[in-house]
Amino acid sequence: MVFSYNWIQSFFKKKLLKPKEFAELLTTHSFEVSEVKRVGKDFVLDVDVLPNRGPDCFSHIGIARECAALTKSKIKYPKSKIIEDKGLKAKDFIKVEVKDQKACPRYTARVISGVKVAPSPKWLKEKLKVCGIRPINNIVDIANFVMLETGQPLHAFDGEKLEGPKVKPSASYGASKKIIVRFAKKRERIVTLDEEKYDLNDNILVIADAKKPVAIAGIKGGIIPEIDRETKIVVLESANFNPQVIRRGSKKLGLKTDASWRFEHGIDPNLTEFAINRAAFLVQKIAGGKIAQGLIDFYPKKVYPKKIKLNLAYVDRLLGVKISKKEIKNIFRRLNFPLYENSSRSILVEVPTFRLDLSLPEDLIEEIGRISGFQKIPAILPLVSLIPPKRNIDRFWENLSRDILKEAGFSEVYNYSFISQKMATIFEYRPKNLMEIENPMSLEQKYLRPSLIPNLLKNVKENMKNLPASRLRSGQWQAGFKEIKIFELGKIFRKDTPSKIFEKRSLTGLIFKKEKKAENFYELKGICDLLLEKMGISNFWYDTYKPTPEDSKISIWDPKKCAEIKVDHQEIGFLGEVSLKILEDLKIFSAKGKQIGNVVVFDFDFEKLQKLACEEHEFLPISKYPAAIRDLAVLVPLEVRVEEILNKIEITGGSLVRDVDLFDIYTGEEIPEGKKNLAFHIIYQSDIKTLSSREIDKIHQKIIKALEKEKEWEVRK
């Protein structure tokens, strides 16, 4: 909000600090001043007044009060003493009726007769222009001036344009007028001073005469009773409105004004009388006229100053610095807070009604610290015992497994913990094992998920939707869709019996690529190896999957490409390629129904994984001697597992075989029917010496002989 430096200076006899110094003073004690700008012979201060201080500091008097408290100066309040004409009675001309006193706690009005509407004097125009308000005429300008000065919005009506009830005319004015503060009726409309039309409803408070709305209460006046050059009788309004009512009406109409902005933050109801008397004084001084005797004042529930007991010892404890009782009392006097001393340990402070933000002892202590200067409080670090938080082992292993998979190129997903009836049917889950939601938010959330796999496959399907059918048919993929590698760590739910609910954490991931190759299976197997090894699990192995007759997994997996992951004889997870049937049901295909890729999934029981995991790893130094690599290809029947060949190579080669990698599986035309060719890299290395070619050849030949002992196994030379 912008303020005029010269205007603030007018409230003091002695010279204030220079504009920039004054801005610095406000910034360190009250509000941040974002800009100081010269405008003609004046300076404009852009002050960021805090919302809680809106009731008293959205005005020049409010900022002047702050200045007086900070500089220990005495403020000089503007004149507002009016001279009423005893021959004119305000109550004979205007009647006020407030329908809802919660929406309008106070409504004051004054009548001024015989005014002369004309352009405002130069000093008044300049003050308005500096604050960004366009001058209109002396009456309207005075209302705006008093709002900027006191913070109380006012409105002026042409009294002769207001409608009144059909009653016998008074001797002085003719027929009396009526102002009604009420909520608008349905289908009522109003044209405001800027000639904009607004449809009203029963949530919008209006000021009405006997027939129609003449202003939107606390927001904007109507065009019908506007002040013009023909106006002779002015009705001044100074009211207090409920902030929530004004905010609701302003938001509904999409109309923000200086008045609504102030009312939304709350205004002291006791300010209305001071402001209207100040405005009447200026009208009489600038525009002439006679002020009718009597203030029309609807104020059924008066607001009185609050009294707060302040413990002086508490002030020192809360601020962390000792401030003398004398200084505390001096600060409150500078803030215009009357004091009533109770004892040597406490004082009773009366908070004026213009400080609506103060209601607790802590609020008063904040005022003491603010005026005294928070910068004076020494910075002392607290003496506390830093106790490390208790380690959450569950969170540790969850985060570690996430990090391992992310480093391997996977992205984590978070799915809802529900599946639909359609998904349950596709995956052939038994209804007796599913937990049904009593009041699902949608059909897609009928059951709690018994596995993470369905929603992960749904993620693949949703990403497939972004590919045009033409590109799917031609096998061309858009950038970003060459592969999908995702995982999820979350809870799954199953009902073993009607009364027993089974809940556990599961870690599931998948790879989806456009190339339908066996390497995808072995790539994911390598990811599983990496995960288990980094979690300190070494004695794991892969076993043939043998489903029981009642096990539904057989319909999910390709029976030739799946395996159980075991530690000793305990199953901890599963690795397999999703069956063609599931992919067909989920429509993870091109438009012609041609499969464009395969989905390979791993699924771990995370509870078992966590129990087997170990943080301690045996340190093995890297050998300083060179390694040698030899390739070996074996022709074996299709049913032979890679693990069998790996075991043979590692057992025969012993400690000199550092690692064995499968790098190719071939079943082309050159390979006999019912056979497959497996190619391996064998890495030889010693920890104590450099192996010679003769030593490596000897071990390599030993491995070849061991492999050829098996029937139907042939090492290709």
Q: Which pLDDT belongs to residue 414? A: 95
What's the mean pLDDT in 519-535?
89
Higher-confidence residue of 621 and 197: namely: 197
- In sign, the C-alpha dihedral spanning 621, 622, 624, 630 is positive
Give the residue carrying structure tokens 């900022």. Answer: 63
Indicate the range of 61-75, 430-444, 551-565 predicted with least confidence: 551-565
HEC-encoded secondary structure of 53-65 = HHHHHCCHHHHHH
Q: Which two tokens stand for residue 367?
A: 């005022």
Q: What band does 469 get if pLDDT is binned at 50, 70 and 90?
A: very low
Q: What band does 195 get if pLDDT is binned at 50, 70 and 90?
A: very high
Domains of the chain from N-terminus onward? 2-71 (3.30.56.10), 84-298 (3.50.40.10), 306-374 (3.30.56.10), 393-612 (3.30.930.10), 628-716 (3.30.70.380)
| pLDDT over 60 at 222, yes or no | yes
Q: Return the bridge partners of 511, or none.
A: 485, 600
pLDDT digits (tens, 9 = 90+) for 581-604: 888 888 876 445 566 678 999 999
The per-residue DSSP string of 540-552 comes to: EEEEE----TT-G
| pLDDT over 90 at 376, yes or no | no
pLDDT digits (tens, 9 = 90+) for 654-704: 989 988 988 888 888 888 888 999 999 999 999 899 999 999 999 999 999
Indicate the range of 260-269, 413-422, 596-605, 612-621 predicted with least confidence: 612-621
CA distance 199 to 187: 7
Mean pLDDT across the chain, nearest whole number? 89
- In sign, the C-alpha dihedral spanning 466, 472, 478, 484 is positive
Q: Which of these, 294, 264, 36, 19, lies nearest to 151 by C-alpha position? A: 264
pTM score > 0.85 for this model? no
pLDDT digits (tens, 9 = 90+) for 112-168: 999 999 999 999 999 999 999 999 999 999 999 999 999 999 999 999 999 876 545
| pLDDT over 70 at 470, yes or no | no
Q: Which of these, 20, 4, 122, 116, lies nearest to 64 by C-alpha position? A: 4
Burial of 435 (0-12, 13-18, 19+ CB in 10 A): middle
Q: What band does 307 get if pLDDT is binned at 50, 70 and 90?
A: very high
What's the mean pLDDT in 631-642?
89
What's the mean pLDDT in 62-78?
93
Residues 6+ away with beta carbon under 8 Å from 693: 628
CA distance 194 to 207: 17
Q: Which of these, 481, 478, 474, 446, lies nearest to 460 by C-alpha position? A: 481
Higher-confidence residue of 410 and 342: namely: 410
Q: Which of these, 678, 676, 675, 681, lies nearest to 653 by C-alpha position? A: 681
Q: Which pLDDT belongs to residue 385? A: 81
What's the mean pLDDT in 318-339?
92
- The answer to whether the CB of 119 falls within 8 A of the CB of 141 is no
- The answer to whether the CB of 216 falls within 8 A of the CB of 190 is yes
Q: What band does 20 get if pLDDT is binned at 50, 70 and 90?
A: very high
| pLDDT over 80 at 199, yes or no | yes
Checking DSSP bridges between strand 306-311 and strand 540-544, what pairing results, if any? Answer: unpaired
- The answer to whether the CB of 489 falls within 8 A of the CB of 456 is no
HSE-up of residue 415 (Cα within 13 Å, Cβ side):
31
CA distance 68 to 384: 41
What's the mean pLDDT in 277-290?
95
| pLDDT over 80 at 108, yes or no | yes
Q: Which pLDDT belongs to residue 592? A: 52
| pLDDT over 70 at 336, yes or no | yes
Q: Which pLDDT belongs to residue 377? A: 87
What's the mean pLDDT in 232-258?
95
Percent of residues, the chain, with pLDDT higher than 90? 67
